[in-house]
Structure 1
């Protein structure tokens, strides 16, 4: 079978012919049709998500068919501690396999694993109809889902993007879409005075979010696509009684991951949430997909047809 494998940290992946996996006890063999592309895949490629034995198959989520029917796979160490979904077939622990609901587009399902579970957890951290939510990086895979989930919770939601063109394309139900950089964030969202900021950008945006959030507000950082380091004015943080959280869905208990994935798929099946898919690319274009994510040239998810 074909698989995209990492042979050297920091180097592009190669498409190899490899033997099909043999599932062990409590594992399911899944013949994949699509795999999601996530920033964690790039971090793993560059050696920033733990050291794995090479060559290694990345990819932490995807969709395909098991003997029981169509399924979505995510979690259980896929693509991080064991061979992942950048391949035609994968052996998955049973706890990482969820039935694909009838009527759900497999391409959308391929983009909902890591992104959907993260967005579900972010909004589930106490977002209510009383909140005014600002989603930073709303054109990303997680951000675009977080906007929709926060709206479904009844909150007032503004979506932020750095690209003015994205602002005209983001039809996700947000009350407003603003296009600004970190320096312009406070002025751009002054009218909203958010009580909750979901920050998928990091870098200078986290410090800007501290200045922009309402007194007593909550900020959750779940990504660093704008930079892994930044400055925060601690005086502003404590004077405003701001609570700053970090979140990684990869650290969630397996049962919570499964519940979140099932919940997201149910909302997609009911037409209440849609996965924003930028493009479906062939497996052989995996390195081009990684470049586009690194350069932030995507709106929503990139999906590989495997």
Structure 2
């Protein structure tokens, strides 16, 4: 292959996993504030299959920025190959990871090379390989911005007031619904690192996994309904969402809060009667926060669970795996490197 081209997965049309095509395209040139990253691994996330399925507008953004063909992907781990003249702090050869240009659909991480905003990147933790690093950015930052610190002052597309995380500590009890998934397994670990008591809700196959992550109590949702077993918790993080999300309000104490990662169907009168709040936010790229998370990854305080990996050329199979659900941790695409 000529040195000025690369392989990338692109969408020429919207549809099922079969529309993902493995193309030969020009290697991008980094613009102002950007670096060129040689990709070693790319994470697979819900916005990737939303884009594939036809969603082209991010909540809060008035217009679509998508024009076909488009390369999906936002999570990346790799090595800096070139640096724009105005970029400080990164150099050729640095190992980096990041969530690129989110919220938006122009991350273009499903490729052998990607032009990445330097501000979206952090140095990859030395003790974490590229596959695990690529699984961290979107899921880890989502958990971080819901639970630890929002990290920006952008208006929320979902509510008129800014999202405010609830302080977590030894006196806090948090229930995580969908605890074995990407965001959920980070949330369990971050809450435990703060000293909180964590109740994990997932299917029974994930019980041992979540115990290893530190969950204090496990509920198999296929056998029991959390709202019938749990009451008086301080915080619910619901990574599943949907019309059933509101039933988890009944697990909260008065003054408690529920954070749905995906918008649900809530009734203002019901939440007022229960004396609880519902708040959500939209994850945003943040290299500085990712560096903080990277420190926890390097220390072993938090780890990335990998559900499965697929070669970049087999992105279709990765999306088919995602569609089957019951994911434990993250799905990651790997990019072969020349010897």
TM-score by length of 1: 0.89
Of 108, 128, 131, 1:107 maps to 131
SS at match of 1:15: strand
Return the alpha-carbon distance in structure 2 between the equivalents of residues 183 and 297 of structure 1. Answer: 17
- Superposition deviation, residue 48 in structure 1: 2.1
Q: CA 1:181–1:8 in 2, change beyond 3 Å: closer, same or farther?
A: same
Structure 2 partner of 1:3: 8
Structure 2 partner of 1:14: 21
CA contact (8 A) 2:199 2:217 kept: yes
Structure 1 partner of 2:3: none
Of 92, 95, 116, 2:140 maps to 116
Residue 208 of structure 1 pairs with residue 247 of structure 2: yes
- Superposition deviation, residue 202 in structure 1: 0.8
Of 74, 94, 97, 1:69 maps to 94
Long gaps (5+) in structure 2: 1-5, 58-63, 81-91, 149-164
Return the alpha-carbon distance in structure 2 between the equivalents of residues 201 and 183 of structure 1. Answer: 16
Residue 157 of structure 1 pairs with residue 164 of structure 2: no
- Superposition map of 1:140-289 within 5 A: 140-161=181-202, 163-170=203-210, 171-180=212-221, 184-190=225-231, 193-223=232-262, 230=265, 232=266, 234-250=268-284, 257-289=286-318
Aligned residues: 292
- Superposition deviation, residue 16 in structure 1: 0.7
Q: CA 1:276–1:49 in 2, change beyond 3 Å: closer, same or farther?
A: farther
Q: CA 1:77–1:244 in 2, change beyond 3 Å: closer, same or farther?
A: closer
- Superposition deviation, residue 102 in structure 1: 2.0
Deviations 1:16-35 (A, max 9, x none): 11111112222111000000
Structure 2 partner of 1:37: 44
SS at match of 1:216: strand
CA contact (8 A) 1:127 1:155 kept: no
- Superposition deviation, residue 169 in structure 1: 2.8
CA contact (8 A) 1:182 1:204 kept: no
SS at match of 2:26: coil
Return the alpha-carbon distance in structure 1 between the equivalents of residues 264 and 258 of structure 2. Answer: 16
- Superposition deviation, residue 105 in structure 1: 2.1
Return the alpha-carbon distance in structure 2 between the equivalents of residues 23 and 197 of structure 1. Answer: 41
- Superposition deviation, residue 156 in structure 1: 0.7
Residue 59 of structure 1 pairs with residue 83 of structure 2: no
Q: CA 1:180–1:77 in 2, change beyond 3 Å: closer, same or farther?
A: closer
Return the alpha-carbon distance in structure 2 between the equivalents of residues 205 and 150 of structure 1. Answer: 24
TM-score by length of 2: 0.81
User: Higher mean Cα deviation, 168-177 or 234-243?
Assistant: 234-243
User: Higher mean Cα deviation, 95-104 or 295-304?
Assistant: 95-104
CA contact (8 A) 1:70 1:100 kept: yes
CA contact (8 A) 1:211 1:236 kept: no
- For the aligned residues, what is the CA RMSD? 2.0
Long gaps (5+) in structure 1: none
- Superposition map of 1:280-299 within 5 A: 280-299=309-328
CA contact (8 A) 2:246 2:264 kept: no
